[in-house]
Structure 1
Amino acid sequence: MTSTLDRTAPRDLAAEVPARLSLTPKTALAGQLDGAWWPRSRDLEAELPPLVAALQEPWGRVTRVTVNPTRWPVVPRRVAVDGRVLHVGWFAEQDADKLILLAYAVGRWDLLVIPPETEPAAAARLMAAAAIPGSVLTAGVLMANETVIGRGIRDARRQEVTWESEGGARMSPFGNPTGRSTFPPPANGWR
């Protein structure tokens, strides 16, 4: 027997929960990004209404959104938001980790999209980095940097666990403890 689990957030719940968002403060410094958005699922139809509602006051009425389809399993052409229609487009050439928002006669904003499955600590780092005024780092560069940082943390933990499980002993090339200390012998000859 096969069962399928839907791990996306229910649409009713997504509409009630505010968007996880970090915006660049208003300054004269123009950067590559205007902030970051951390959706709870990969369901654009459920995730866009809370995002657009959160941006209504600081940015005005968002009318269009563009994404790269690589990160979204379904890209609807239109999404209902507060009794109106939000047009959604996709471009394969657009940075896969970026969402572009357009407001008629107001402007354009670029947000880093943090994958829903990202750990909270990593998401916090990304949200802070994307909201730095005047930053020249693109969405792709921020995500690549976080991948390296995250991998470095995991590698350090793995090395520490390995060290502890081996009792801190020096290993032979064959993976067996050599019975010798990892520290050099003291100069006075005492062991």
Structure 2
Amino acid sequence: MITTVPPAPLAHPLLRLRLAPHSTLPRRLDGVWWPRSYDLLAELPQLLTALPRAWGHIAGVTVNSAVWSAAPGRMFVCDQVVRLRRTVASNAQHTVVLLAPGHGRWDLLVVPPDTTPEAAEALMTAALEDRARDRRE
């Protein structure tokens, strides 16, 4: 079953997303995302439309089924089909994996929606600083 998702409403125009600087070195995280809920149908379209074009068409998204609300196996976002995969892996509880055939894989740390702004800021900054430190070592 494919679910068609209308364009994201502008009630929350600012996407809470930080991407790590481009690098050719291996990395654990490509960015940090702070969604407003665990409703994948509501949150995913806004995220996908904000990603860099260089990442290509995101054709697959993997989320932890214990954390995210139920969703169909596929969504129609921005005139393209996105396949949704669910995992129960404990190491992927707070990540979303984005796959773009021919372009790559991107892992985003997910800050829980109910996190306070102060704590979210600290988590987002620390996650990307850890990535920069990993590159230097």
TM-score when normalising by structure 1? 0.59
Q: Which has the higher contact order (CA 8 A, sep 6+)?
A: 2
Residue of structure 1 in register with 2:57 after alignment? 61
Instruction: Decide which structure has the larger Cα Rg and report it.
Output: 1
1:41 and 1:100, CA in 2 relative to 1: closer, same or farther beyond 3 A? Answer: same
Higher share in strand: 2
* SS in structure 2 at match of 1:13: coil
Q: What is the CA–CA distance in structure 2 between the aligned matches of 1:81 and 1:24, rounded to whole Å?
A: 24
Instruction: State the percentage of identical aligned residues.
Output: 43
Query: What is the aligned-residue RMSD (CA, Å)?
Result: 2.2
The equivalences for 1:114-153 within 5 A come to: 114-132=111-129, 133-134=131-132
Residue of structure 1 in register with 2:47 after alignment? 51
- AA partner of residue 100 (structure 1): V
Unpaired stretches in structure 2, ≥5 consecutive residues: 1-6
Higher share in helix: 1
Match for residue 91 of structure 1 among 79, 84, 87: 87
Unpaired stretches in structure 1, ≥5 consecutive residues: 1-10, 137-191
Deviation at 1:12, TM superposition (A): 5.0
Residue of structure 1 in register with 2:73 after alignment? 77
Q: What is the CA–CA distance in structure 2 between the aligned matches of 1:52 and 1:85, rounded to whole Å?
A: 12
* SS in structure 1 at match of 2:107: strand
- Residues 57-113 of structure 1: CA deviation (Å, up to 9, x unaligned): 242211100011111121331122112211110111251001000001100000001
Residue of structure 1 in register with 2:104 after alignment? 107
Q: What is the CA–CA distance in structure 1 between the aligned matches of 2:128 and 2:62, rounded to whole Å?
A: 20
Residue of structure 2 in register with 1:31 after alignment? 27
TM-score when normalising by structure 2? 0.81
Contact 2:8–2:45 (CA under 8 A) maintained in structure 1: no
- Aligned residue-pair number: 126
